[in-house]
Amino acid sequence: MIKKFVLALCATALVGVAALGQTADELIEKNIKAHGGAEKMKALKSVRMTGKMKMGPMEAPFTITKARPEAVRIDFTVQGMTGTQAYDGKTGWAVMLFMGKKDAEKMSDDQVKDIKDEADFDGPMVDYKAKGNKVEFLGKGDVQGTAAYKLKITTKDGNEQVVYLDADSYLEIKAEGKHTVQGQEIETESTIGNYKEVEGMLFATQIDNHAKLAAAISIPVATGEIEAGRWRFKELLDKQAASILQPDALVCGGITEFRRITALADAYGVTICPHWFHDLHAHMVAASPNGQFVEYFPDEKVFNFREIIDRQLTVRNGGLALTTEPGLGYQFDEKAISRYQSDPWK
């Protein structure tokens, strides 16, 4: 029994030493093999990927087209307007219609650095020495209970990321990186999974990205205007994604849900500055300890709801004066509504 116990301890020790003894090159080789092998990888000349980016209740379809050696084009649609980013191996440019920019504009140096990484057809680990990249083995880690090997990658341009390889499959399951946006360094975190086989190669079909933006810059980050339900806002709060939340009672789930979101944000020390509909939100902010500002529209050019109610909030000393009538303090103007009425249903 003692001999068996000693042998078991020795075996455990040997396994531990073997795991730690793996080099970065050995792990990269196993990663390439797990994806389908170097031969199949090098045989690919171009690839086209389609999918959807989910941002709360909103989805943004996208297409990524890549070609050797380092050309990429990314097209995505946000609220019916298309944006494009592209890099041809030398120059990066973008067209952002949803930002009011109709003409192509050259990317900044920081944007070019990031899209160059995306344009790397095989990824930064494959032939990393020839590309001028560096890869270091940082030991083992844990990703939500899954053992993983950690590799630190530094590209020729100075971008850094830590990639976690599943200790069993050697496929990527997580990545942590740093990017520079408008002079500020931003930390990002991605969870990678749901691998599927395409022509003998494995590709990840699900990537969840989280930018630790709020902690990285001095400017307060505000978000939440199109989010629905307190659970989505809790996710934003848990990830410290913003220092100001902008729930919209007409989107998030009504007055009761808005109150729950406000109370939840208050527990995290986060300010509420709701989006749109000042006639309702003025009362909500006034009744919330963490309410600060209301988005106010002085005319009907943006907020045409003003045209169908019988009174307007007044601005007094830089603030909105609350009404004293019961409820929200206004009634609907039936004559105004009739101007917008369509043919009655039959």
Confirm whether 40 is domain-assigned: no
- Assess whether 194 and 233 both reside in one domain: no
Identify the domain boundary among 187, 212, 237: 212
Q: Which amino acid is at 53?
A: M
- Say if 6 falls within a structural domain: no
With CA atoms as reference, report the closest residue to 278 among 257, 309, 256: 309
Domain final residue, candidates 180, 212, 244: 212
Structural domain containing residue 311: 222-338
Is residue 306 domain-resident?
Answer: yes
Query: How are strands ordered across the β-sheet holding 201-212?
Result: 134-143, 146-154, 160-166, 172-181, 184-198, 201-212
* pLDDT tens readout for residues 18-62: 444 589 999 999 999 999 999 999 999 999 988 887 655 556 788
> Same structural domain for residues 264 and 117?
no
What is the domain-level CATH number for residue 201?
Answer: 2.50.20.10
**Is the residue at 343 inside a domain?**
no
User: Has residue 2 been placed in a domain?
Assistant: no
165 and 256 assigned to the same domain: no
Contacts with 288 (C-beta within 8 Å, 6 or more apart), sequence order: 259, 262, 266, 272
70 and 200 together in one domain:
yes
Same domain? For 198 and 73 the reply is yes
pLDDT at 172: 95
Q: What pTM did the predictor assign?
A: 0.60
Residue 208 and residue 226 in one domain: no
Q: Which DSSP symbol is given to 199?
A: T
CATH number for the domain that contains residue 292: 3.20.20.120
pLDDT at 210: 57
Looking at the fold, whether 270 and 319 belong to one and the same domain comes out as yes
Q: What is the pLDDT of residue 99?
A: 64
Domain assignment of residue 279, yes or no: yes
Residues 6+ apart with CB under 8 A from 135: 24, 25, 28, 125, 128, 151, 152, 153, 154
Of 212, 235, 260, which closes a domain?
212
Residues 190 and 73 in one domain: yes
179 and 286 part of one domain:
no
Same domain, 198 and 235: no
Interval 144-198: pLDDT, tens = 899 999 999 999 888 889 999 999 999 999 998 876 665 666 777 888 888 999 8
- Counting the structural domains of the chain, the total is 2
- Does the residue 17 lie in any domain? no
Residues of the chain with pLDDT under 50: 1-20
